[in-house]
Amino acid sequence: MCGIIGYVGREPAAPILLDGLERMEYRGYDSAGIAVRSETRGLQVKKAKGRLKALYDLTHGGADMEGTLGIGHTRWATHGEPNDINAHPHISENGQIALVHNGIIENYLELKEHLLRQGVTFTSDTDSEVVAQLLEFHYNECHNMLEAVGRCLRRIEGSYAFGIICADYPNALIAARKDAPLLLGYGDGENYIASDVTAILKHTRKVSYMDDGEIAVVTNDSIDVFDSELEPVEKTICQVDWDVASAEKGGYPHFMLKEIMEQPEAIRKTVSPRIRDGRIVLDELHLTREDVAAFARIFIIACGSSYHVGMVSKYNWERLLRRPVEVMLASEFRYCDPLVDERTLVIVISQSGETLDTMAAMREAKRRGGRTLAIVNVVGSSIAREADDVLYTWAGPEIAVATTKAYSTQLVLMDLVGLYFAEELGTVDEETYAAVLAEIQLLPEKMQVFLEHTEDVQYLASRYFNHDSIFFIGRNLDYAMGMEGSLKLKEISYIHSEAYASGELKHGTISLIEQGTLVVALGTYAPLFDKAMSNVVEVKARGAEVLALTTEDLAEKVSKTADATIAVPVTHPILQPSLGVVPLQLFAYYVALQRGCDIDKPRNLAKSVTVE
């Protein structure tokens, strides 16, 4: 996903912009650029395809570009291939306006044709450049940049976060957003805009989050925000309490490993504030017992790993609430004419809170009268602010593209909410409630025990990293957990893999099992352990190499059949995926390490997907 940063203040802008772009590299990009306004040289623009180092070299670390006002961008291509021309910032034809953009302008062709008819010439294939040219068109009409931006926004359709500077304005940059994140950073005699707080955390902890349709005029000593009618808007300034270190690697070789190791603490931070005197307390929730009882349907909507949390939660929530729970991919939900009305609870799960598919699905659910509850990690993110209710996972900044601690905190929070709702509905007995709650509080230390002995997983990864196709098979919760194990492996090691319901194998896919095929057999869900074992025998009989994952009390039994076994501590059956997923995360990590992959920034991927 693209990254935006803007600066206006007393210091040279270029080094600050480059540093901010570097702190957003993890978001995924294919080119980068900066524009700085200089008293003597007007707007200077430098941009380069490839890694940020190319831009550093091109600008000698920013030293070549004088000026204290500027904007910067890392691009994740949507329209126009990755190259220097299509990189941002884009410049208007007269060279007086520079713009960076995150999002997609859906009617850019129509606008481009209009401008071409006006004699405007274009240099790039991007949708973003159209906005730069349109800005010049309107600025020439009204000679006021704020008004010109307002006119522009009324004509464009799609998603955007814009950073804009104009040669005529020596001390102001303009920001605007709709459907793509953009925040305002408040400094001392200097101010910022950024897609992500990590880009400016080094300079300020005071931020406010722009809402859809808003426009901000940012100078070195003021930030004025307006709505789409150019009426002033009052913004709440939040204090970010993340420390810079927690957004750094902390001595680990990769963010992903650091974040795997942070999971016990992240779970503790997510759970502890919500348990008081042996009861679950969800103060942030505005749903009464009557509201919960009135829901006839529950949807869980998400993408990727967040969707996999939904798959686990479906099994658990139906078991606890005795209500139908439907899990859908956000990208499918939007277009299936979903059965949502006032008696529907729609849970949306998102680490970033900016995934466009999930955001759009949530809006569709609201439009149909559904009640929305968001499970989100990034405070103040778009989904968090638009949902009727939001419960935050307190995992802290997750930098690696492949999620781990956010997945785990989402999972445990969904278990907590499921138990809470079950108590509201009277569908869980006191003994089960107390047993599950006790085990939830023991998860961090049980996970820690496993994390202190990862050498077995590391060894198995060195044994199996050369396979080119790996199956994850399991039943019920193991099947749902296997989806996440499979995605982790695919994402960072680029090995083809699929998760399969092991009871379904014999209905066709077992034809793919041949001598030496690696099958990760998941048998941590005790109630179906014997069934899982029979499937292990099935695939062994066809030549599979079986790596079994089970619980410590069943390891002895499994090791008689499997070629290798990993065992995790026992917990309550509905919580078992929270422990079982950890060796799957580590297996993917160490396989990718063996294969020399770019673990924190896998090819083709972005940390948050804000395009359709």
In the complex, minimum distance from the CB of residue 360 to ligand AGP, in angstroms, rounded to a whole number: 12
- Token pair 């010439």: residue: 121
Q: Is the dihedral of CA 134, 135, 137, 142 positive or negative?
A: positive
Are 148 and 166 spatial neighbours (Cβ–Cβ below 8 Å)?
no
Find the binding residues for ligand AGP in span 437-476 (CB under 6 A).
none
Q: Residue 325 to residues 274, 297, 310, 339, 573: CA-CA distances in angstroms?
A: 23, 7, 9, 12, 19
In the complex, minimum distance from the CB of residue 383 to ligand AGP, in angstroms, rounded to a whole number: 8
In the complex, minimum distance from the CB of residue 603 to ligand AGP, in angstroms, rounded to a whole number: 13
For helices 145-155 and 127-142, the axis angle rounded to 10 degrees is 130
Report the C-alpha gap between 94 and 86 in whole angstroms.
18
Are 346 and 358 spatial neighbours (Cβ–Cβ below 8 Å)?
no
Stretch that binds ligand AGP, among 89-97, 131-139, 151-159, 395-403 (CB under 6 A): 395-403
Whether 152 is a known active-site residue: answer no
Among 358, 372, 565, 585, binds ligand AGP (CB under 6 A): 358
Q: Which is nearer to ligand AGP, 304 or 370 (CB)?
A: 304
The single residue of 2, 152, 166, 303 carrying the catalytic annotation is 2
In the complex, minimum distance from the CB of residue 161 to ligand AGP, in angstroms, rounded to a whole number: 16
Q: Which is nearer to ligand AGP, 327 or 528 (CB)?
A: 327
- C-alpha neighbours within 13 Å on the C-beta side of residue 559: 9
In the complex, minimum distance from the CB of residue 483 to ligand AGP, in angstroms, rounded to a whole number: 11
The answer to whether the bond into 89 is cis (omega within 30° of 0) is: yes
Q: Is the dihedral of CA 388, 104, 223, 226 positive or negative?
A: negative
Residue 372 binding ligand AGP, by CB under 6 A: no
In the complex, minimum distance from the CB of residue 63 to ligand AGP, in angstroms, rounded to a whole number: 36
Report the C-alpha gap between 32 and 199 in whole angstroms.
14
Q: Which is nearer to ligand AGP, 91 or 402 (CB)?
A: 402
Stretch that binds ligand AGP, among 81-89, 191-199, 400-408, 441-449 (CB under 6 A): 400-408
Report the C-alpha gap between 545 and 349 in whole angstroms.
35
Find the binding residues for ligand AGP in span 303-322 (CB under 6 A).
303-306
Residue 382 binding ligand AGP, by CB under 6 A: no
Q: Which is nearer to ligand AGP, 126 or 404 (CB)?
A: 404
Residue 195 binding ligand AGP, by CB under 6 A: no
Among 17, 401, 477, 570, binds ligand AGP (CB under 6 A): 401
Q: Which is nearer to ligand AGP, 280 or 330 (CB)?
A: 330
Strands 518-523 and 469-474, how do they pair?
parallel
Whether 2 is a known active-site residue: answer yes
Q: Which is nearer to ligand AGP, 361 or 533 (CB)?
A: 361
Q: Which is nearer to ligand AGP, 358 or 551 (CB)?
A: 358
Among 331, 403, 551, 585, binds ligand AGP (CB under 6 A): 403
Q: Residue 191 to residues 183, 238, 442: CA-CA distances in angstroms?
A: 11, 15, 44
Residue 480 binding ligand AGP, by CB under 6 A: no
DSSP 72-141: EEEE--SSS-SSTTTSSPEE-TTS-EEEEEES-BTTHHHHHHHHHHTT----SS-HHHHHHHHHHHHHHH
Helix (H/G/I), strand (E/B), else coil: 474: strand
Among 198, 493, 608, 610, binds ligand AGP (CB under 6 A): 608
In the complex, minimum distance from the CB of residue 400 to ligand AGP, in angstroms, rounded to a whole number: 8
Q: Which is nearer to ligand AGP, 126 or 306 (CB)?
A: 306
Residue 491 binding ligand AGP, by CB under 6 A: yes
Amino acid sitting at position 391: L
Stretch that binds ligand AGP, among 96-104, 157-165, 300-308, 497-505 (CB under 6 A): 300-308
Strands 97-102 and 183-186, how do they pair?
unpaired
The tokens of 39 are what? 């008293």
For helices 455-464 and 576-594, the axis angle rounded to 10 degrees is 50
Q: Which is nearer to ligand AGP, 204 or 409 (CB)?
A: 409
Q: Give how many residues touch ligand AGP by CB under 6 A.
A: 15
Residue 355 binding ligand AGP, by CB under 6 A: yes
With CB atoms as reference, the residue minimizing the distance to ligand AGP is 304
- C-alpha neighbours within 13 Å on the C-beta side of residue 415: 29
Nearest partner of 333 among 371, 309, 307, judged by Cα: 307
Nearest partner of 501 among 479, 484, 520, judged by Cα: 479
Contact string (CB under 6 A) for ligand AGP, positions 251-290, x = contact: ----------------------------------------
Question: What 3 state SS string does 489-550 have?
Answer: HHHHHCCEEEEEEHHHHHHCHHHHCCCCCEEEEEECCHHHHHHHHHHHHHHHCCCCEEEEEE
Are 314 and 340 spatial neighbours (Cβ–Cβ below 8 Å)?
no
Among 402, 528, 549, 597, binds ligand AGP (CB under 6 A): 402
Q: Which is nearer to ligand AGP, 13 or 256 (CB)?
A: 256
Stretch that binds ligand AGP, among 48-56, 298-306, 495-503, 574-582 (CB under 6 A): 298-306
Find the binding residues for ligand AGP in span 325-354 (CB under 6 A).
350-352
In sequence order, what are the residues at sequence separation of 6 or more whose Cβ sits closer than 8 angstroms to the Cβ of residue 335?
none
The single residue of 178, 235, 314, 607 carrying the catalytic annotation is 607
Q: Which is nearer to ligand AGP, 68 or 351 (CB)?
A: 351
Number of residues that this document lists for the chain: 612
Amino acid sitting at position 223: I
Residue 609 binding ligand AGP, by CB under 6 A: yes
Q: Which residues are catalytic?
A: 2, 607
Question: Which positions lie near ligand AGP, rule CB under 6 A?
Answer: 303-306, 350-352, 355, 358, 401-403, 491, 608-609
